[in-house]
Amino acid sequence: MTLVQHICSVFVNGFEIYLHSHMRWETVSMLKTIVLGSCVSVQGVLEKKLPDGRVTVRVGNRIFTGNPVTA
């Protein structure tokens, strides 16, 4: 569980106005981008890391496995 701050704000005439802010504990899923082949990438929720260095991500109900994108 991670403590997450939710901030509700709007922009009016170029100025940001904060309406309210609150904190709550929730599960935060880590997003990961992987490469499938030479030019297809997929971004999804990290499911697991494999021993060979590849990772598995979930997008909706589909599972994809590929090499992680490095910065």
pLDDT at 2: 60
Residue percentage of the chain with pLDDT more than 90: 28
Rg, C-alpha atoms of the chain: 18
The DSSP secondary structure of 1-49, one letter per residue, reads -EEEEEEEEEEETTEEEEEEEEEEEE--PPEEEEEETTTEEEEEEEEEE
Condensed to tens digits (0 to 9), the pLDDT of residues 49-63 reads 999 999 999 888 889
pLDDT at 5: 63
End-to-end CA distance of the chain: 26
The predicted model scores a pTM of 0.59
